[in-house]
Amino acid sequence: MDFSVVNWLAVVVAAVVAWLFGAVWYMGLSKPWLKAARLDPATMKRSAVPFIISFIAELVMALVLTLVVGAITGGEPNPIAGLLFGFVLWLGFIATTLTANHRYQGFGWALTLIDAGHWLGVMLIIGVIIGWFGAPAAPAA
The domain containing residue 39 runs over which residues? Answer: 8-133
**Does the global pTM surpass 0.85?**
yes
Tens digits of residue pLDDT in 12-67: 999 999 999 999 999 999 999 999 999 998 888 889 999 999 999 999 999 999 99
DSSP readout, the chain? --GGG--HHHHHHHHHHHHHHHHHHHHHTHHHHHHHTT--TTTPPP-SHHHHHHHHHHHHHHHHHHHHHHHHTTT---HHHHHHHHHHHIIIIIIHHHHHHHHHTT--HHHHHHHHHHHHHHHHHHHHHHHHH-SPPPPP-
Residue 99 lies in a domain: yes
Residue 121 lies in a domain: yes
Residue 58 lies in a domain: yes
Q: How many domains does the chain have?
A: 1
Residue 34 lies in a domain: yes
Residue 90 lies in a domain: yes
Residue 28 lies in a domain: yes
Residue 2 lies in a domain: no
Tens digits of residue pLDDT in 80-90: 999 999 999 99
